[in-house]
Structure 1
Amino acid sequence: MFTDSVTAIPPGFDPIAQASHAIGFSMPSDLQTGAFLKAMVGAKPGGAVLEIGTGTGLATAWLLAGMDAQSTLVSIDNEQEYQTIAGQFLGNDTRLTLVCADAGNWLDANKDQTFDLIFADAWPGKYSHLDAALGLLAEGGMYVIDDMLPQPNWPEGHDQNVDRLVADLESRPDLHTVKLTWSTGLLVATRKGTAPSTTKLN
């Protein structure tokens, strides 16, 4: 039977989940979001991946599980306590670079970089610094965000932030967007290609 259950848990995920619970970390990525990220990043062999919002590394584990040996992942968070857990269980993976910094400042300072997949799971790169984040997206690259459906921890009025963000992304002529009622509500935006068409007219 086709179900929404996720059983193929990536290496490092379970101890990260236990350590997250121990410190009262209350913003974990959903299993379905993780499985989706693993599948999407697998379509970018040798790709450069950016995660904005490491948290304790739960989604990071899924991304690493889907990446090939030649891919790289830069993951940013400004909370050292949380990111230390990610480093403890995932830090030996040479494909991963953990950056403890304000993500907005990092985005502004790294406009020369290009990424094939960006998972924006923090306020910067999503509700602020959106142009800076999208400016790093390669042609054919995927920008992925979650929590687009109402969540119990949303503050009052946050639904308006979500509506504005979705409308902004859907209005951009250089992006293809799709909204998915999967997990906590996902949106994927793909940078359109700019190569000239080779179609021949008879």
Structure 2
Amino acid sequence: MLNNLNQKIPPTYLKIDQATKESGFTMASDILTCSLLKTLAAAKPAGKFLELGTGTGLSTAWILEGMDKNSTLISFDHDEKFLSIAQQYLGQDERLALVLSDGEDWVKNNLGQKFDYIFADTWHGKYLLLDEVLEMLNPGGLYIVDDMLPQSNWPEGHEEKAINFVKYLESRRDLTLTKQNWATGIIIAVKK
């Protein structure tokens, strides 16, 4: 088995990828990670999905591709420039709500919501407000994070933050998790 992507790429992905490169956005999700997000989304029919950190919508396109017609996805980002790319290419999908919001504000204003699938691709829900976001996860819900292997764009001291994050997840009794040394480093956890 090779790390080749042997599945259909969402029709909007290539357009978003081109717009992403032109915009200068450098934090795009790896295509292997995106493929996994699609597969895991297919495991949650009629699910409520949350993506923390839309970016330009590359991973959003894959999540939508895996979702069924009865599922919904809320995806937020604080950067209007990048979110507008996702809006341009994905905004017509009625299952999707794209929200311009600061991560802390969004999480604190939505604490009562519950989700079947959470992809935390920004600081909030990963390094900040983690307990609050994990509380939003339904039993049997998936919590997914990427970029857990050292990245060239990590700021000074980030590796220690990532190590502590993983240790904390491992210590929680309400999660069953797997760490994958694959793509950019992925953790998948299921809420008990």
* TM-score calculated relative to the size of structure 1: 0.93
Partner of 2:169: 169
Pairs aligned (count)? 191
The CA deviation string for residues 10-41 of structure 1, in whole angstroms up to 9 with x for no partner, is 12100001111111111111000000000111
How far apart, CA to CA, are the structure 1 residues paired with 2:61 and 2:180? 22
Partner of 1:130: 130
Report the Cα offset of residue 103 of structure 1: 1.2
Alignment of 1:64-103 (within 5 A): 64-103=64-103
Amino acid at match of 1:6: L
Alignment of 1:4-153 (within 5 A): 4-7=3-6, 8-153=8-153
How far apart, CA to CA, are the structure 1 residues paired with 2:185 and 2:96? 26
SS of residue paired to 1:97: strand
The CA deviation string for residues 34-90 of structure 1, in whole angstroms up to 9 with x for no partner, is 000001110000000000000000000000000000000000100000000001000
**Identity rate, percent:** 49
Amino acid at match of 1:102: D
Report the Cα offset of residue 96 of structure 1: 0.3
The CA deviation string for residues 144-183 of structure 1, in whole angstroms up to 9 with x for no partner, is 0000001111111111000110011110011101100111
SS of residue paired to 2:132: helix
Q: Which runs of 5+ in 2 are unaligned?
A: none
Say if 1:11 and 1:65, in contact at 8 Å, map to a contact too: no
Say if 1:61 and 1:90, in contact at 8 Å, map to a contact too: yes
Of the structure 1 ranges 101-110 and 31-40, higher mean CA displacement relative to structure 2 is found in 101-110
Q: Which runs of 5+ in 1 are unaligned?
A: 193-202
Report the Cα offset of residue 9 of structure 1: 1.0
Amino acid at match of 1:54: T
RMSD after superposition = 0.7
Report the Cα offset of residue 132 of structure 1: 1.1
How far apart, CA to CA, are the structure 2 residues paired with 1:126 and 1:53? 11
Partner of 1:154: 154
* TM-score calculated relative to the size of structure 2: 0.98
How far apart, CA to CA, are the structure 2 residues paired with 1:153 and 1:14? 23
